[in-house]
Amino acid sequence: MAAAVQVDDVAKRFRLYKEKYTSLKERVIHLGKVPYEEFWALRDIDLTIEQGETVGLLGHNGSGKSTLLKCIAGILQPTSGRIEVVGRLAALLELGAGFHPELTGRENVFLNASILGMPKKEIAKRFDEIVAFAELEKFIDNQVKHYSSGMYVRLGFAVAVNMDPDVLLVDEVLAVGDENFQRKCLDRVKRFQREGRTIVFVTHSADLIRQVCDRAAVLDHGVLVALGTPGEAVRAYREHLLQTDRAHEVEQLAPALDEDTAETDASVEVDDGLSAQERKRNFKLRITDVRMEHPGAGERPYLLPGEPLAIRVAYDATERLEDIVFGIAIHDIEGRLVFGSNTDFLGVPVGDVDGRGVVTFETDATPLLDGTYLVTIGVHSQDEGTVYDWQEQRHQFEVMNPGRGVGQVHLGLNVSVTRERGEDAELLR
């Protein structure tokens, strides 16, 4: 297989001007002293995309994924390095870019397609297909300025996907439009895959990556941090997301800790990054250790869907405490509560404790698909009036899904197919 897109040591620098001077007059006045900050949107990017491959680019906002796509599309020029694209390239960056409101739909199809680099003869050949795809047969000779925004987008997409590209670049356009339209887009993308075309996809939807990509690359602050199977890439993406969150948390926490002395003044609300429950703890009992145990713990830091998981909580009570409840809560990375319960609800009262011990929460099969899950452990009295210790989302485990299933929950599904003449035939009656 030959490379369809070859990205060699590409870097892109943006200059962020504090004030932008766009006229000759201003440029002369401010000659040589235009203040700006440099910002590297991409750094040392090396990436080879084979022909017929579908590669996803994952990254949070500002990670440089769209910049990379625009560089591949040739809209932006890399500051250094080079990119080689073999074959005709079509980019679904913005649908209908270049439509002129005064021209009719027909005229715009021809103009738009030739802007995208399609020969006129071929446009004429595909014209009917384009119009049919856009469902605009009745309006194709009306001026585009009279189109609704839906018609506009449909026509733009119809032109772009009928370009017969060898390499297709897709930005998050699939996120726009109604469900029907999205399905249509996705169907087209899948057809392109079957036809052996190369597709580069930008998204931050892990599900979409899993659904359509052969490989995925993860970008973080303009650097390519991971490249591998969709599963691996999604994991790396989540990890980086978590790290950035943590770094952010530390930054916020630091000044609060410096002002620890001010905390004595009760009227001042100090944001120390602690949850309400954590502020209430009296530490008569301390959580000394929390461990996640699963069968593969030795060789990999993550669980597979359906594997057993044990969460062990070691504690140390300084005095005898009565009617203690151990609680557990699991949140996903976006902060949604996945599961929460406590020893009381689970029907296993802990009763009285004194000294050290371990409480274990166990499941035979973790019913989760992939993601990073944050674990909260709380120890409190029956009525939650007294909090002994509480660790709000201080622990985590990860699930990585090697399969192609998408979503949040792992259902251990079995599939069977019944045909009319089969044993279960009476079911069909």
For another protein, the binding residues (CB under 8 A) are 14, 22-25, 27, 51, 70-89, 91, 93-94, 97-98, 100, 102-103, 107, 110-111, 114-117, 119-120, 166, 196
* Closest distance of CB 251 from another protein, Å: 29
Whole-number Å distance between alpha carbons of 123 and 111: 10
Whole-number Å distance between alpha carbons of 216 and 352: 52
* Closest distance of CB 109 from another protein, Å: 11
Structural contact between residues 359 and 343, judged by C-beta atoms closer than 8 angstroms: yes
First to last CA, the chain: 51
* Closest distance of CB 182 from another protein, Å: 21
Q: Which residues are CB-contacts of 373 (< 8 A; sequence separation ≥ 6)?
A: 330, 331, 332, 333, 338, 396, 397, 398, 399
User: By C-beta, is 23 or 148 nearer to another protein?
Assistant: 23
User: By C-beta, is 196 or 403 nearer to another protein?
Assistant: 196
* Closest distance of CB 225 from another protein, Å: 23
* Closest distance of CB 84 from another protein, Å: 5
User: By C-beta, is 103 or 274 nearer to another protein?
Assistant: 103
Structural contact between residues 72 and 5, judged by C-beta atoms closer than 8 angstroms: yes
* Closest distance of CB 194 from another protein, Å: 12
Token readout for 138 is 């009745």
Closest CA to 401 of 365, 363, 370: 370
Whole-number Å distance between alpha carbons of 2 and 86: 9
User: By C-beta, is 8 or 344 nearer to another protein?
Assistant: 8
User: By C-beta, is 74 or 422 nearer to another protein?
Assistant: 74
For Cα atoms 264, 266, 272, give the angle at the middle one, nearest 5 degrees: 75
User: By C-beta, is 21 or 181 nearer to another protein?
Assistant: 21
Token readout for 183 is 């399905």
User: By C-beta, is 99 or 361 nearer to another protein?
Assistant: 99
CA 275 to chain centre: 27
* Closest distance of CB 30 from another protein, Å: 12
